[in-house]
Amino acid sequence: MEEIEELNQEINGLKGKYDSLLQKLDSIEKENAQKENNIKQMENNFTVINNNLKELMEKIDSVIEEKETTKMFSNTRKNNFSFMNMVASPMRKATVGTMRAVFSMTDYASEKVAHAREGLEDIVAEAQYENKKRRSTMMTNAEG
């Protein structure tokens, strides 16, 4: 009788541990789903930023092309050291440098987000594998 009570207590203890593990696994899966949603949102934001930067660069290029076209057809040739050239050239270089830095940061952030997603997927897969492994050992122990 005492052995049966001890076995029942052990079974109840194992059930409690199993239930707590299931709850922890559920909470981890919910957290991972939330993190994946956040990662997808970040990727969408980066895509929007990339598109906006692309449009901005196209507008800057079109303005510069228009300026060069009007300059070519202008009857009066101005000195290369005009005030507009002195201001526009450094501004263009600064704008291009800034855009290059933003694109680099966006690419770097996108790469890190992809690595984070892969890490989360690995964690979830490992947790599921461990859970299945525990279940199978519990089943074989219960049968034996």
The pLDDT tens digits of the residues spanning 49-102 come to: 888 888 888 888 888 878 777 776 665 555 545 656 666 677 778 788 888 888
Least Cα distance to 121 among 46, 25, 22, 33 occurs for 33
| pTM (whole model) above 0.85 | no
Q: What is the mean pLDDT of residues 117-123?
A: 85
**Residue-level pLDDT at 58:** 86
**Residue-level pLDDT at 12:** 92
Report the domain count for the chain. 1
The residue range of the domain holding 92 is: 2-143
| Range with top average pLDDT, 7-11, 122-126, 129-133, 135-139 | 7-11
Neighbouring residues of 43: CB distance < 8 A, sequence distance ≥ 6:
110, 113
Q: Quick: pLDDT tens for 16-59.
A: 999 998 899 899 899 988 988 988 898 888 888 888 888 888 88
Least Cα distance to 111 among 37, 46, 21 occurs for 46
